[in-house]
Amino acid sequence: MEKDIKAQVEYYLKLPYTMTVQYQAEQGGYYIAGFLELPDLTMTGSTREEAIRELLLEAPEWFELCIKSGYKIPLPSQPSTYSGRINFRMPKHLHRAVAVIAAREGVSINQYLLSAVAQAAGAEEKQDGDTSRRGKIEQKRKSLATHVREARAEYPKGRTKKGSVNDLRKDLS
């Protein structure tokens, strides 16, 4: 029986789970490492490396406990093929603000949004030593934040539009 459990643990350890590491600023700052598919298996550390090391040390015991307890262990996500295309909607005033910023910076809306998404996804943390690109992305992020604030000022909370929740509430009263 024990041999069977060890074989199952080895099986799960070899699967390609998606590891994540996030920084938490609370309590002096620390890192949390885990697997997307295994939300109950997380470990912390004062550095990224420490959190990952703790996670990898804990994983065999965690899998063994789950197997012995009869807990159904999720399998890794199947690798997806991504086309590189994504469609999403945004309010018209935000679309306008993004178009203005992109034009001001001499790039397409697509390129501007790509830079903003890359910054948000942490792509600027690549260890390529290209600090000038990181600086440009940070400038674009700050510029977008400024224009979003300006757009919000144009459309204060009390302003209503045809078909808005405020209009519906007025019609009901």
- Rounded Cα gap, residues 41 and 52, in angstroms: 12
Residue 46: CB partners within 8 Å, gap ≥ 6? 29, 30, 31
Reading phi first (left if > 0) and then psi (alpha if -120 to 50, else beta), residue 31 is in beta
What confidence score (pLDDT) does residue 94 get?
A: 92
Per domain, the residue ranges of the chain are 2-69, 92-157
Instruction: Strand 30-35: give its sheet, edge to edge.
Output: 19-24, 30-35, 38-45
What confidence score (pLDDT) does residue 166 get?
A: 40
Mean pLDDT by 10-residue block, N- to C-terminus, for the chain (173 residues)? 88 92 91 93 94 94 94 85 84 91 89 86 51 58 61 49 39 44
> pTM to 2 decimals?
0.50
